[in-house]
Amino acid sequence: MFKLLKKTNTKERIALVFSVTFIVIQVWLELKIPDYLSEITTKLQIVETTVADIMGPGSIMVSLSLLSLVASIIVGFIAARVAASLTKRIRGEVFRSIMDYTPGEIKQFSVPSLITRTTNDITQIQLVIAIGLQVIIKGPITAIWAVTKIADKNWQWTTSTGVAVIVLLIMLSSILVFVRPKFIRIQTLTDKLNSITRETLQGTRVVRAYNAEGYQNNKFLGANEELTSVNLFTSRMLAILNPGMTIISGGLTLAVYWIGAHLIQSAGMPNKISLFSDMVVFSSYAMQVVLGFMLMTIVFIILPRALASANRINEVLDLKPSIDFVKESQFSSNEKGSIEFRNVTFSYPNAAEPVIQDVNFTAKAGETVAFIGSTGSGKSTAISLIPRFYDVSKGEILIDGNNIQSYSHEDLNNKIGYIPQNPFLFSGTIRSNMDFGKSGSIIENDTQIYSALALAEAEEFVLQKEDQLDSHVAQAGTNFSGGQKQRLSIARAIARKAEILIFDDSFSALDYKTDKKLRNNLSENMVDTTKLIVAQRISTIMDADQILVLDEGKVVGQGTHKELLESNQVYQEIAYSQLSKEELNNG
Ligand SMILES: Nc1ncnc2c1ncn2[C@@H]1O[C@H](COP(=O)(O)OP(=O)(O)OP(=O)(O)O)[C@@H](O)[C@H]1O
């Protein structure tokens, strides 16, 4: 929590100093009121006192109360502003940290947990600053100041106030013991609820098709009930606070008046009046003492949840991404578009066995290298090492003769156009998706976008849309078919004018005709661009300059379609299961 508070800037710190000043003013004003109450009660004992005599101190009391109200509004306003601006910055920092994470690091937290941490957890911090700040500062000041006011008055009254404070502390600490661990649990359960909601919404078609609404509903109900019962428990415990507080303050008032009654009864005449006045004043100060301690202890009730949230936020901020990019690329090279794998071996974090082993190949600028193999053979993993989603465990990958680790993040990404296995479009328009992110080439006009769309065989369906490039794209591109999404994501990569295009099974949703046309477009119009293609279909890759056949992470065949068809058993098996001998030989 302290770590997060240290992120306040000078402006916020100055605002906090102001806020503390106004809290002190507020407490001073509140503690001044009983002085005038004392004056009124004293005057009331004198027969000659007129209404006009009471009006003076009475108006001052009203003014003090109003000023105290104004001070508390100012404090609330400042605290809310500081809370909002600080948490806005923290939210931004958390988001930026997440953006630097590798897929493995995102998995380590889980997506729903990262969403809760960026939203709900930060809201807890905002609450504790906005509300807690006043309580944290006001509590001790009020309690200590009020104690100094009553300490020398009367030992019986002081003792009764002491007893009330002890009872209050016992009540609050008992509540705290039960409630504290539950607050930590609430955040974890919120993660769980988010996770189930997200999974159900993402898989809604499968859920419906399999009549699994009941099953998912039960999962959700279970998590919801658990969260509700923990929330109810904490709310019930905290609900004891208010009546408990009323009983304690009521009991204290009763005790002060009961003791006062005895004292007044046994006192002589002039003392009776001053004792009565003291009693009224004392009970006001005693209430302030109780309130002060109450405020102090509330801190311990609102703080645990905020502390749990602060820890969760710090975990995200403290995790250093395992992939460390150099700030400036450290090489000079005239080559453009060559790529080489040298004895590349890779194991996923925490996995015993490597997923790919000793992969070697060289692709010169403009060449096409394809990867084929059974599912799970490591094809996607191999090419995901190029944009450094993960770093190689052994060996090295070179682009234009330089190890990819010597490239800055931006320079490496500018060399590559990556088309993922599951095409992902962002909410916006077709244009905003085509002109997405920063790349080496800047899209200056629609003609550039249309030429990329044409190469990706996507121009026709975009032109058919009423709004063409301004057509709406829903989140994750759900208003486009699988094939359309694939073509748009290919066009997006082509528009970057990258030297190396990486297609991770990016033709799978295309019909054979479109697949062929698209590949022809690429080979005819992107002669200088190096293409790495992962595919399941032989027809997609048979024209490649080099094909790597992967099996359980090892390269079991390497060559052209013709060479592999003649000599490689694994390739033959895949090939003959898909196409006839004539089709294969004419390819
Ligand atoms: N993030 C990950 N963490 C751990 N293991 C993974 C991860 N991604 C993939 N794997 C494992 O690595 C192996 C290779 O997966 P990969 O996706 O590279 O295969 P693939 O050949 O591309 O398969 P497909 O053709 O089905 O897409 C699989 O056994 C898979 O279970």
Is the shortest distance between the CB of 349 and ligand 1 below 6 Å?
no
Task: Give the pTM.
Answer: 0.72
Is the shortest distance between the CB of 379 and ligand 1 below 6 Å?
yes
The confidence score (pLDDT) of residue 587 equals 56
CA of 522 to the centre of ligand 1 (A): 27
The confidence score (pLDDT) of residue 395 equals 92
109 and 200, same domain (yes or no) = yes
> What are the angstrom distances between the C-alpha of 94 and each of 112, 227, 232?
14, 25, 30
314 and 434, same domain (yes or no) = no
The 10s digit of each residue's pLDDT in 343-371 is 999 998 877 889 999 999 898 888 899 99
309 and 358, same domain (yes or no) = no
Residue 323 lies in a domain: no
Residue owning the nearest CA to atom 8 of ligand 1: 381
Residue 325 lies in a domain: no
Read off the CATH number of the domain in which 282 is found.
1.20.1560.10
305 and 427, same domain (yes or no) = no
- Strands (E) in 204-290, as ranges, are none
CA of 285 to the centre of ligand 1 (A): 70
CA of 380 to the centre of ligand 1 (A): 7
- Rounded Cα–Cα distance for residues 205 and 212 (Å): 10
Given a cut of 60, whether residue 213 has pLDDT beyond it is yes
Residue 70 lies in a domain: yes
The 10s digit of each residue's pLDDT in 513-559 is 888 888 888 888 888 889 999 988 888 888 888 999 988 888 888 88
Given a cut of 70, whether residue 581 has pLDDT beyond it is no
Neighbours of 498 (CB within 10 A): 22
Residue owning the nearest CA to atom 9 of ligand 1: 381
Given a cut of 80, whether residue 330 has pLDDT beyond it is no
3-state secondary structure 309-330: HHHHHHHHHHCCCCCCCECCCC
Q: What is the atom index within ligand 1 of the atom nearest the CA of 351?
A: 4
- Rounded Cα–Cα distance for residues 19 and 503 (Å): 57
Ligand 1 test: best mutation among 345, 346, 377, most atoms within 8 Å of CB?
377
CA of 382 to the centre of ligand 1 (A): 10
Residue with tokens 């060399």: 415
The 10s digit of each residue's pLDDT in 556-571 is 888 888 888 888 888 8
Is the shortest distance between the CB of 380 and ligand 1 below 6 Å?
yes
CA of 422 to the centre of ligand 1 (A): 14
Q: Side-chain half-sphere of 52: how many Cα atoms within 13 Å?
A: 1
Highest mean pLDDT among 5-14, 322-331, 380-389, 458-467 belongs to 380-389
Helices (H), 45-154: 51-100, 103-109, 111-118, 120-127, 133-150
CA of 371 to the centre of ligand 1 (A): 14
Handedness of CA 553, 557, 560, 564 (dihedral sign): negative
CA of 124 to the centre of ligand 1 (A): 38
φ and ψ of 402, to 5 deg = -115, 140
Q: Give the model's confidence band at 381: pLDDT under 50 very low, under 70 low, under 90 confident, else very high.
A: very high
Highest mean pLDDT among 25-39, 42-56, 79-93, 228-242 belongs to 79-93
Task: Name the domain boundary from 265, 283, 318.
Answer: 318
How many Å from the N-terminal Cα to the C-terminal Cα in the chain?
Answer: 65
- DSSP string covering 513-582: HHHHHHHHHHHHH-TTSEEEEE-S-HHHHTT-SEEEEEETTEEEEEE-HHHHHHH-HHHHHHHHHHS-HH
The confidence score (pLDDT) of residue 74 equals 92
Is the shortest distance between the CB of 102 and ligand 1 below 6 Å?
no
CA of 360 to the centre of ligand 1 (A): 19
Please indicate whether residue 523 or residue 18 has the higher confidence score (pLDDT): 18
Q: Look over the chain and give the mean of its residue pLDDT values, rounded to a whole number.
A: 85
CA of 534 to the centre of ligand 1 (A): 13
Residue 327 lies in a domain: no
Residue owning the nearest CA to atom 22 of ligand 1: 380
Residue 331 lies in a domain: no
Q: Give the model's confidence band at 333: pLDDT under 50 very low, under 70 low, under 90 confident, else very high.
A: low
Given a cut of 70, whether residue 44 has pLDDT beyond it is yes
Is the shortest distance between the CB of 350 and ligand 1 below 6 Å?
no
92 and 232, same domain (yes or no) = yes
Q: Average pLDDT for residues 95-111, to the nearest whole number?
A: 87
Q: Give the model's confidence band at 118: pLDDT under 50 very low, under 70 low, under 90 confident, else very high.
A: very high
The confidence score (pLDDT) of residue 87 equals 93
Is the shortest distance between the CB of 378 and ligand 1 below 6 Å?
yes
Task: Name the domain boundary from 268, 288, 318.
Answer: 318
Given a cut of 70, whether residue 443 has pLDDT beyond it is no
418 and 488, same domain (yes or no) = yes
Find residue 339's DSSP bridge partners: 363, 399
Is the shortest distance between the CB of 506 and ligand 1 below 6 Å?
no
- Number of structural domains in the chain: 2
Q: Side-chain half-sphere of 10: how many Cα atoms within 13 Å?
A: 0
The confidence score (pLDDT) of residue 439 equals 61
CA of 358 to the centre of ligand 1 (A): 17
Is the shortest distance between the CB of 355 and ligand 1 below 6 Å?
yes
Domain enclosing residue 491, as ranges:
339-586
191 and 251, same domain (yes or no) = yes
Residue owning the nearest CA to atom 3 of ligand 1: 348
Q: What is the atom index within ligand 1 of the atom nearest the CA of 421?
A: 27
Is the shortest distance between the CB of 375 and ligand 1 below 6 Å?
yes
- Rounded Cα–Cα distance for residues 445 and 447 (Å): 5
Is the shortest distance between the CB of 548 and ligand 1 below 6 Å?
no
Residue owning the nearest CA to atom 12 of ligand 1: 355
Read off the CATH number of the domain in which 392 is found.
3.40.50.300
Q: What is the atom index within ligand 1 of the atom nearest the CA of 378?
A: 18
The 10s digit of each residue's pLDDT in 250-304 is 898 899 889 989 888 887 777 777 788 888 888 888 888 888 877 776 776 677 7
Centroid of chain to Cα 181: 22
Residue 329 lies in a domain: no
Residue 537 lies in a domain: yes
Residue owning the nearest CA to atom 4 of ligand 1: 348
Is the shortest distance between the CB of 404 and ligand 1 below 6 Å?
no
Ligand 1 test: best mutation among 108, 357, 379, most atoms within 8 Å of CB?
379
35 and 173, same domain (yes or no) = yes
The confidence score (pLDDT) of residue 258 equals 92
Task: Name the domain boundary from 267, 288, 318.
Answer: 318
Residue 330 lies in a domain: no
196 and 87, same domain (yes or no) = yes
395 and 289, same domain (yes or no) = no
Ligand 1 test: best mutation among 101, 372, 381, most atoms within 8 Å of CB?
381
| Beta pairing class for 356-363 and 339-346 | antiparallel
Q: What is the atom index within ligand 1 of the atom nearest the CA of 373?
A: 21
375 and 259, same domain (yes or no) = no
Is the shortest distance between the CB of 424 and ligand 1 below 6 Å?
no
305 and 350, same domain (yes or no) = no
The confidence score (pLDDT) of residue 562 equals 86
CA of 80 to the centre of ligand 1 (A): 48
